[in-house]
Structure formats: structure tokens, C-alpha cells
Structure 1
């Protein structure tokens, strides 16, 4: 199963899940954006970084690594990437790191030289096999579904879906998580078609309802807004908070139009002008 892409989608959909794994409030994620960070000088990319937004009160950066294959040199690489990032970004106020292993046997025997890092309060190791099954959290449940045995996958997926009350199904977060549940099951049963999986999970009728379609569209709109903000940052630098607010108020059609237009942007003024021209649409 393509675990890296699955986890990336999970944290993109609901960043609060990371903090739930650490036993903290998911509300901590409200001031963060989850993204990959490219370090051009050495041509590599850190795939999981929670960067505080410009208006965030907590400026701690969170580095996240998902490690599902045993790699004896994992910690050498992981801490090298972190300290290289810190060297290139001296403005960093504070940092935390989270490593997610499916089970303890995957973690490499860490060298003595990393004892200060691994025994500090800055580095957190999560073992999915140790997660409490009684925790009533969709996010934690998604993590458990990823490492579930094939024989238990359908039952656990159905149990996750049943946790959501009918009145919550209009929430775009639910629609996005339901898509993730379905995607995880697709990866686990590659021999089945998506239609067969929808039938197995009892999703066919629900996905045809108007409330689900509206929730899914709203979720796609939020995802599109986040993507546009990341692309704009790469294109013209940091986007001012007042411009971010205007972007988050755009419709899905406007978001798609901005996605095409930003390819020609060369400076922040181009974004300001575009928003002014499309304000009344």
C-alpha cells in the first residue's frame, strides 16, 4: 500500500489528526498548514512539515515522518534533514518532530549518538500497533485501519463510518474522511473495483444523496483553497493575511480560475489586481 501518499492526504484533509495521535487537542492544528518543503541547495524534499500560518500564535514547526520500512540509517537521514532545514531557516522559533511507525519492530536500533534527540521532549515516536482501540476518534481510527489485517479491514471501515451521526454527514470533513476510508480499502483490496468496495462498505446509496454531494463539494473547495495558497507562496512569496481571507471566500469556480491565472503572476500586486477584478463575480 502507498502509505506515504495516504498519510499525506490524511494530514492534508485533517491536520488535527497528528495532534490526536500525540494525545493532544486537534484544535492545535488550526494555526498550521501541512506541506512538503523543498530544500533546493541539496535537491531533496521534506515531505511532511506543519508550518505555522502568518497569523498563528504558536510558531513551532512540526516535522513528520512516516516510516513503514525498516531502514538502519533512518535516524541519520531524519535528523540530518531537520538540522539542514534549521540551518537554512535561522528565523525558526522552535521545532518538534514526530515519527510514525506501524509497529515497534520496524524502528531501527538507534545509535548512541542520537540519545539526546530521542530522549528529549522534542521528538515523539508513535507506534500504530499501540493505539488505544477504545479512543472515539475518526482520525485515530483511520490510522488503525491502515495497519489492520485484511480480514478485519471491512469491519473496521464500517465501524468508522457508523461513528458519524446522520446530521454530521453534511460536514465536508466527514465527506473527505469517507473518501480516505474508501481509498485505504481500495489499496488493501486491489483486486476489487471501486464499485464493489462501495457496496461492501454500504456507501453506494449515501454517495448519491444531495447532502453528501454538497459536503464533498465544500470539502473540495477548502482543499483547493489550501493548494492555491501553497502555489501562490511558491510563486510570489508569502501571501498577506488579508489576501488569504479573500482567497478563502472564493467559490470553487473562482478557485479554479485563480489556479490558472497564478501561473502568470510575477509579484504580489498581480494577485491583488486579480482579486479586485473578480470580487463581484
Structure 2
């Protein structure tokens, strides 16, 4: 569910970037709640609706293809037309995870006497350079078409760091980490993306809260521990950077990201006695030899 949250948050922050990419022209868009439709939505949490003066943009992000997508798009087209008969409706399904399924190529719904089309974007077929043009689309670059995916992801991260609005920068960085997880291992992402930069983002906090909610459903203790571990990683990394007066290498950040919560808690106390990087190396060797 974190992918739904992440994509929705991006469209809220960068609506004009999505409009420019999907429509081919820049137009101010505001969020339209599915509850404004005359009939109760099928899955309001997955529906992203943006409206301008003359158009409605309906976006659905899908991690994997589902049988009911075409019918859902047709259903929403009718609902939107009923509510906004004079506005042009643009519908697009954006598939995030690469697959060979034929479903990701279907762009229509058809039954006897009814036919409705919508656009389909398979993000892994989109050239990375196309997404690099828009700050709001940088989080999807890691999933796009590239000859060197890791280097391309690094480029996207550097571009995000150039976003002047600090809040938007943090949100984009958090979204990049989450979405890129569909393609890259956590160890790779930890080497490319600094968790402490995205920690203050609303996206990051929402995902932590989702983890806690899922934890309450599956077992409260497990969910809270996962949330606490993420917080501990970010805090310990900041403390080490200040204590050692140097930025930690990507390799070291990756090692820290794999530590269990009890070891992180012990490290947060032990680092007060560190004076150089070798102290950290020796401590990890003694207390977490599995690395």
C-alpha cells in the first residue's frame, strides 16, 4: 500500500509536472476527491483525480496488472462524465513493475454495446531522459528505461538534491526510495539514497504509520519495532556524522541500514566514545560479526 501513498503524494505536490507529461501542455490542476462523484467509488484510495478548467485527469498507478482495471476505468469515465459533462476526460494507467503479462497492453474495455479507451504507460519503457525533465517525475527514473540503471538512479538523486524547496526535495527523495524498491535491493538503495534526507517528509511519515498500522493487524510489537528501527538508523547516522566530523561512506551507510534495533541502540551509546572512523569499524566487527 505504500506505493499508492507515495504516488498520490507526488501528484499532490507536483500536479503541473504530471499534467505536462501526460497531456503535453502545462495547465494548473487541483485535486478532485472521488467522493465528489455521484456514486460511491470502487476504491477511492487508489484513484487519483486532478481537474483543470477544461479537463479532468484520472490517473491510476498499478504495481502489477489486475483483471478489473479496464472495467474500473470505464466505470469512472461514466461517473466523471455525469458529474462534469463539459470537461474533457483523460485517463491513464501507469504500470510500475516490469512484467511480461499481456494485461499491461490492454487499453480498452469492451462489452456488448459499449467500448471505452484509456491510455497505458509502462514505466519501464519510458526513457529516463523524458522523466528527468520534470522534478515531480524524478522518483520514477529508477524504474525507467536506461542502459545503466544504477548510474541513472544516482543522476536522479543528484537532480532531486537541486530542488530548491526543501520540503519538496525531501518528499521526492522519500518517493524515490520507495518506488525504486520495486527494482533495486535495499542494500543498493542505501548506498545511493540517504535516509536522513527524507526522514522529515510527509511521505516517509505516512509509510511509517502504515507500517505501524499493519503491525497492529499482524502483531503490534513487530510493527512498532520496524518503525523504531527506521528511526534509529536515521538518528545513529546523524550522530556518527557529527561525532566523527565526516560524511559516512555509502558502504558504511549500507551496513548500518542492516543492523537490528538492539544493536543500533547499543551503538547510539557507544559512539559517544568514538574519535575516528576506525573506532566504528572495530565496534561493528566486535558486536555484529555477521557483517
TM-score per shorter chain, which class? 0.5 to 0.7
Secondary structure at the residue paired with 2:116? helix
| Cα deviation, residue 50, structure 1 | 0.6
Secondary structure at the residue paired with 2:128? coil
Deviation string, structure 1 residues 81-113 (Cα, Å, up to 9, x no partner): 2213433x2565332212223468423474555
2:2, 2:24 → 1: CA distance?
A: 27
| Cα deviation, residue 37, structure 1 | 3.7
| Cα deviation, residue 23, structure 1 | 6.0
Deviation string, structure 1 residues 45-103 (Cα, Å, up to 9, x no partner): 44211134xxxxx231211122343334432222012213433x256533221222346
Q: How many residues are paired up?
A: 193
Q: Structure 1 85/43 Cα, relative in aligned 2: closer, same or farther at 3 Å?
A: same
Match of 1:65 in 2: 60
Q: Structure 1 81/100 Cα, relative in aligned 2: closer, same or farther at 3 Å?
A: same
Match of 1:9 in 2: 9
Match of 2:155 among 156, 159, 174: 159
2:181, 2:89 → 1: CA distance?
A: 35
Deviation string, structure 1 residues 162-193 (Cα, Å, up to 9, x no partner): 22565x4444322321221233345666766x
1:59, 1:32 → 2: CA distance?
A: 12
Match of 2:194 in 1: 203
Match of 1:96 in 2: 90
Say whether 1:176 aligns with 2:171.
yes
Deviation string, structure 1 residues 224-247 (Cα, Å, up to 9, x no partner): xxxxxxxxxxxxxxxxxxxxxxxx
Match of 1:76 in 2: 71
Say whether 1:117 aligns with 2:112.
no
Say whether 1:107 aligns with 2:105.
yes
Report matched runs for 1:17-28 at 5 Å.
Answer: 17-22=17-22, 24-25=24-25, 27-28=26-27
Name which one, 1 or 2, has greater alpha-carbon Rg.
2
The 8 Å contact of residues 12 and 34 in structure 1, kept in 2 or not, is answered as no
1:201, 1:13 → 2: CA distance?
A: 23
1:91, 1:9 → 2: CA distance?
A: 28
Secondary structure at the residue paired with 1:22? helix
The 8 Å contact of residues 48 and 63 in structure 1, kept in 2 or not, is answered as yes
RMSD: 4.1
Q: TM-score if structure 1 supplies the norm length?
A: 0.52
Q: TM-score if structure 2 supplies the norm length?
A: 0.51
1:130, 1:63 → 2: CA distance?
A: 21
The 8 Å contact of residues 142 and 152 in structure 2, kept in 1 or not, is answered as yes
Q: Structure 1 130/20 Cα, relative in aligned 2: closer, same or farther at 3 Å?
A: farther
Q: Which runs of 5+ in 1 are unaligned?
A: 53-57, 221-281
Q: Which runs of 5+ in 2 are unaligned?
A: 203-291
